[in-house]
Amino acid sequence: MRPVWRRPILSLTTLIVVGLIVAACNLPGLETAAGRQATDDANATAAAETVAAELTRSAGQAPTATEVLSATDTPSASPTPAGPTVTPVPTGCTDQASFISDVTVPDDTYFDQGENFTKTWRLRNTGTCTWTTAYKLVFSSGRAMDGPASQALLGNVPPNNTVDLSVDLEAPSTNGTYRGNWLLQNAGGANFGVGSNADIAFWVQIRVGPTPTPAPSVYKTAKIELKPSFYVDLDEGESPADTDADRDLWYQSVSQDERYLTPANDAEAFLWTDGVPEFEDCDDDGELSDDPIDFDDFEQGDWICFLTNEGRIGRFEIEKISGASPPVLTIDIRTWKK
């Protein structure tokens, strides 16, 4: 008997039941209360798990595996060894100064040997950096005069402001002229000064020794001809003198071979033969005298110092001796005020 193959046949009832279930799932209106409750519970559980995970991350817990970097990705930084504290220098600004004035001790001020003094400069900050107390006044070159190698500023100096900087010094023990050059130094240790390139030092320059007598201002200058037997008024530069009381010097012509320049009315004079005399050269009590000066002792181009009968110090050059007999003198006079 030949076997007969039977194809499986689903029952009609089974198909209908399956179809109804699928349709129920796709129709919201047909969703059961139990199904909705199950879905809501699942969603709430997922949200709670997400919040818990974020709180755990914020509290410093280890990141998830996908966020952990390999040890070779970012090398750990070595600790910086401790060192001296350095005030940082602002970046992008410049240091420069300009000299305003010598507040004390102008150039060539005289001091005694070993005398103490304070030099003060007035400077302006013409750069763009603020000078802080980390900035210093520093000795650069020349003669230190027992001053410090460096000295910190006492306060901040913003750009375009002025400051008076002082340093205590001592005059050297030997007479002479001395100069010390100074600069500023910023917080980073870089020196700077004045000038367009901020590389010029400001200085103190003194003289050690006795203070010379300052020359008074000029009272009168004149060029005159002095003729034989005439008097000259050296105060006013006139010959002949207006009155007997004005007479200071007499061209005394005794003979063809004997002639003198003779002081009159308590005036005094002496011949100077060492270049052009200045006030301090002529103001010499040891040389001034009322003795006559012999014509044989001087020549054209020599100088005579004098003290007038009114008490003024002066000088005149024997600018020309004429060839006449007796000769006429041309003299160039300078008289200083008392």
Collect contacts of 89-92 with beta carbons under 8 A, ≥24 apart.
89/129, 89/186, 89/187, 89/188, 90/129, 90/130
* CB-CB contact of 139 with 110 (8 Å): no
Say whether pLDDT at 312 is over 50.
Answer: yes
The helix/strand count (H/E) of the chain reads as 3, 18
The conformation of residue 230, written as its DSSP 8-state character, comes to: -
Report the alpha-carbon angle 317-319-323, nearest 5. 140
Determine the Cα–Cα distance for residues 119 and 130; give it in Å rounded to an integer.
23
DSSP secondary-structure letter at 173?
S
Q: Does 170 have pLDDT greater than 90?
A: yes
pLDDT in tens, 6-58: 444 444 444 554 455 444 445 444 344 444 444 445 444 444 454 444 434 44
Alpha-carbon distance of 252 to 286, in angstroms, equals 24
Q: Looking at per-residue confidence, does 237 or 30 come out higher? A: 237
Residue 287, SS3?
coil
Residues 6+ apart with CB under 8 A from 191: 138, 140, 183, 184, 185
Nearest-angstrom CA–CA distance, 125 and 94: 10
Residues 247, 267: Cα–Cα separation, whole Å: 9
Structure token pair of residue 151: 């000295």
pLDDT of residue 17: 47
State yes or no: pLDDT of 127 exceeds 50. Answer: yes
List of residues 6+ apart from 149 with CB closer than 8 A: 138, 139
Q: Is 243 a residue whose pLDDT tops 50?
A: yes
Mean pLDDT of 315-330: 92
- Domains of the chain with bracketed CATH: 97-208 (2.60.40.10), 218-336 (no CATH)
Please give the pLDDT value at position 313: 96
Q: Read off the pLDDT of residues 245-292 as tens digits, 9 standing for 90 and up.
A: 999 999 999 998 899 999 999 999 999 988 999 998 999 989 999 999
Q: Is the pLDDT of residue 131 over 50?
A: yes
CA distance 181 to 141: 5
Res 216 pLDDT > 50? yes
Between 104 and 22, name the one with better pLDDT. Answer: 104
Cβ atoms of residues 313 and 279 within 8 Å: yes
- Residue 206 and residue 110 in contact, taking contact as beta carbons nearer than 8 Å: yes
